[in-house]
Structure 1
Amino acid sequence: MGAIIPSPFLFILLVILIIPWVVESVHSLHPHKNNASDEQALLAFRTAIKYDQENSFVTWAPNISFCKWKGVTCSVRRQRVSSLSLTGVGLVGTISPFLGNLSFLSILDLSNNNLDGHVPNQLHSLSRLRYLHLHKNRLEGSIPPTLSACHNLMDLNIWDNHLTGNIPPDFGFLFNLNSIQLSRNNLTGIIPNSLGNISSLNYLDLSENKLEGHIPQEMGRLSLLNLVDLGGNRLTGEIPSSLSNCTNLEALALTDNHLSGEIPGEFCSKNTLLKQLYLAGNRLSGEIPATLLIVHNSKYSAWRTTS
């Protein structure tokens, strides 16, 4: 017969087994204690804001779980910050680099405020980030090339700021991107050929910058492209015939550049979904292709050119 464990020893064994479960349960009920790094990152962000027009931070109090603070959303299971969305609330200040510590963040939307300073390099640590919306602020400096480490990024919207420098070529490694919107900045340099590697891309807006060079032939690889706006730059060369491979294209705007040559005939015949075509303000020559005069499923088309 086996030895019988005395009841005191049995009680101690049960306590040892139960304590870890109790501790985990208590932590799950008090996420602000279990996830101190998230709370500290949010408080550092709050400190970098000089003015809060709509008093959005009233709920950001120590006696309230940070998961219930305005603009903050937490994951259900882990109770970690998954979204920080404070759009159009009149924030004045800078974007704290400590936001890079929100390791579970998938949505960062600080658009339509009055934020200045740089886009923090530390955002590259957000490996789960899917939506980065910083448009309609006063951000300056260059776009951090390190953002290419955010491999899950789907939307990159930093339009209508004061950004300078080049479009990082490493963005071509963001294979999950659906949308790149960088218009209304002061970006210079060329359109990287590597953007042609983003096969998931369907929206590309680089308009109203100071981009130079040719439109990359590699853009013809982007078969899912739905809208392309490269207007208001300093682009030269011809319209790439490879764009005829973008058979899902519905809108193409190349206005107010320095493009030359003829309108590719194959582009006009293959892009049967095209509804809007803007080519005005260039140096195009030759005849308007006959296929342009046949408008496929179109509500509106514009194909004016100026010399």
Structure 2
Amino acid sequence: MKFKSIILVVLLAIAFFSCDDNDDVKNAEPHLVMRFKFDATQPRLNNLGQPVAVAEGNAAQSPSFNAISSHYMELAPNANTALGMGTILYHAPETMAGGAKAIDFSQSKIVGENEIFLSIPLSQVATGSYEWIRTSLSYQNYDINILHQGTDYTGTLASFVGFKTYLTTHHIGNSSFPVNGNREQGYWALSVNGMPFSGQTEAGATTVPNPLYATSPIPPKSCVVTGKFATPLVITGNETRDVEVTLSLSVNNSFEWKEVHVDGKYEPSAGENVVDMGLRGLLPTYQK
């Protein structure tokens, strides 16, 4: 009898915890989940969202991405939705520590390809139909091919493409880059075999594809890349599962420089200057 009582207690405990687990699954709130993808085969677009070749006298390569960060994300119902008037999903921390408002790099969320960048309850997303999504990219970290004093290397580059970024000392591997201030869009730092390089592209040189330039322009230096869903993303408010969104970014010859030695190789020690580090297009997709 005592043995049967023990068995009964165990079975009841299993049933209790099984029900509890099932309730947790049933009551779990569905989320909107955002991930980034990098694709060197996507079209290479200009600021107007139109295909463009590498400028004459320049050379370019498709970097191998390690990580990325975004400063802002927004869903837009249609092509006439002004920036900021859609459903804002995310806005990264900012600071005045550098004397003017800037992205606080120390608080930036940095992720690799297919890692979750954003996950918010769908109850926080306004119901409706969304044709477009915008993401203001702020930081890129990738590997590129370098020629230095006749030898080929792989270097790692940190690219800051947000409107303005506040940095203390940032690092690439064992290389340190003390800044302690704001840097404008287009600041970059590069580590090649432990050798540090850094520089600044010209103002307005960073490509930011916006196919809605005619109906919904973006401010200068904002780096708000705009992409259209193949079919509108509809949020009903009755979702029972996560909505997974992938933001596929074109890295098709996205790292571009002015050639000194016309050989298609980036040679910073020869004075070959970076002219553009902007992403070259956005193709968003979703799964429900």
- Indicate whether the TM-score tops 0.5: no
Higher relative contact order (CA closer than 8 Å, sequence separation 6+):
2
Q: Which protein has the bigger helix share?
A: 1
- The two structures have a TM-score, normalised by structure 1, of 0.28
Larger Cα Rg: Structure 1 or Structure 2?
A: 1
- The two structures have a TM-score, normalised by structure 2, of 0.29
